[in-house]
Amino acid sequence: MRINRGRIEGEPSDRRGPTFTGEVWAEPLLKADGVTVNTVFFPPGARTHWHTHDGGQILLVTHGRGFAISDAGDGGPIQAGDVVWFEPGERHWHGAGPETYLTHVAISLGGHDWQDPVTDEQFQAAIDAAADY
């Protein structure tokens, strides 16, 4: 058993790099036996690249609004209080809306495979498809 007091002691906040569009920050909460937990902050328009997780991924949306989109076309707008589940191997992206930030707790199971960036056209298509956004 392990109890982390709010975050992993001694690990700094991490500015995410080449697998994200925009200035995305992560706060490390837990790393243990194939599970990684981070609080992730996306400013407006920031997003992940397309990616997959070997064991799946859970997002607990805590603040703001944004999008969670799978390569199959599933998903859409997300907001505080939403819980998102990506199946193992499901290609997807997630991030903030165009005019609001997004913060979520990401629980990633197993390894991940980072792929190509989400284009501005793909991002705009998510916005356009969201009638209630």
pLDDT for res 133? 64
Q: Which of 85, 51, 82 is nearest to 64 (CA)?
A: 82
**Residue 9 backbone dihedrals phi, psi, to 5 degrees:** -60, 135
Q: Which residues contact 101 (CB under 8 A, 6 or more apart)?
A: 41, 42, 43, 44, 63, 64
**Global pTM value:** 0.94
Q: Which of 12, 6, 76, 14 is nearest to 41 (CA)?
A: 14
* Average pLDDT over every residue of 60-69: 98
The 10s digit of each residue's pLDDT in 71-104 is 998 999 999 999 999 999 999 999 999 999 999 9
Domain ranges in the chain?
14-129
Q: What is the mean pLDDT of the chain?
A: 95
Architecture in CATH of 14-129: Sandwich (2.60)
**Residue 88 backbone dihedrals phi, psi, to 5 degrees:** -55, 130
